[in-house]
């Protein structure tokens, strides 16, 4: 009996289709089909993107307010992150005609739809952090015992 998740949709159809492509060595087609999703996943997986989405989930924020809320983010990085999110339709930038001008950033409807998966990923990370750290420690200890010297560039561990 096949696992129940074999019909999970992928860019090329089902998991069975994906396995068929792999068996035939059709890696280029898989890469081609996954490219759009991979680009979006890269954006969503960026450290500052996740944090900005979480901070904006509480409602509109001004730039300086966001900067104060996010320790370690530089003005340039926050600017680039907000521009990228605005370009992708996840954040709306609203300029108010005041002196000095007031600019608010808020999640769009599309950005709001990203909130639940981002928060779920954060919850998963918190719940599994200890297990991941323990696995890293076990791996590092085993690697130290197995290889007293560093592997060269042509060596596989």
Model pLDDT for residues 33-45, shown as the tens digit of each residue: 677 777 788 777 7
What burial letters (b/e) apply to 107-129, b meaning 16+ CB within 10 Å? bbeebeebeeebeeeeeeeeeee
- Mean pLDDT, all residues of the chain: 82
Q: Is the pLDDT of residue 20 over 90?
A: no
CA separation for the pair 10, 8 (Å, rounded): 6
Please, which pLDDT band fits residue 149 given cuts at 50, 70 and 90?
A: low
pTM for the whole structure = 0.66
Helix (H) or strand (E) holding 81: helix 75-87
User: What pLDDT sits at residue 132?
Assistant: 96
Q: Is the pLDDT of residue 145 over 80?
A: yes
Q: For residue 40, is the peptide bond before it cis, meaning its omega torsion is within 30 degrees of 0?
A: no
Residue 33 tokens read as: 């089909």
Domain 46-145, CATH class in plain words? mainly alpha
Beta strands across the sheet bearing 61-62: 61-62, 102-107, 91-96
Q: How would you class 150 by CB atoms within 10 Å of its CB: exposed for 0-12, middle for 13-18, buried for 19 or more?
A: exposed
The more confidently predicted of residues 152 and 50 is 50
Domain ranges of the chain: 1-44, 46-145
Please, which pLDDT band fits residue 154 given cuts at 50, 70 and 90?
A: low
Residue 90 tokens read as: 């996840």
Please, which pLDDT band fits residue 1 given cuts at 50, 70 and 90?
A: very low
63 close to 78: Cβ distance less than 8 angstroms:
yes
**Main-chain phi, psi angles of 49, to 5 degrees:** -60, -50
User: What pLDDT sits at residue 76?
Assistant: 96
Give the pLDDT mean for 77-94. Answer: 96
């Amino acid at each position: 009996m096949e696992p129940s998740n074999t019909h999970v949709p992928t860019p090329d159809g089902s998991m069975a289709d994906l396995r068929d492509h792999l068996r035939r060595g059709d890696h280029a087609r898989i890469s081609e089909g996954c490219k759009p999703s991979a680009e979006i996943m890269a954006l969503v997986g960026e450290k500052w993107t996740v944090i900005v989405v979480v901070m904006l989930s509480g409602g509109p924020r001004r730039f300086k307010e966001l900067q104060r809320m996010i320790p370690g983010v530089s003005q340039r990085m926050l600017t680039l992150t907000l521009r990228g999110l605005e370009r992708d339709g996840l954040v709306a930038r609203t300029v108010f005609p005041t002196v000095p001008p007031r600019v608010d950033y808020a999640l769009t409807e599309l950005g709001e739809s990203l909130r639940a998966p981002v928060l779920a990923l954060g919850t998963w990370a918190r719940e599994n952090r200890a297990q991941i750290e323990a696995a890293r420690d076990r791996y590092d200890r085993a690697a130290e015992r197995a290889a007293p010297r560093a592997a060269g560039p042509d060596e596989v561990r």
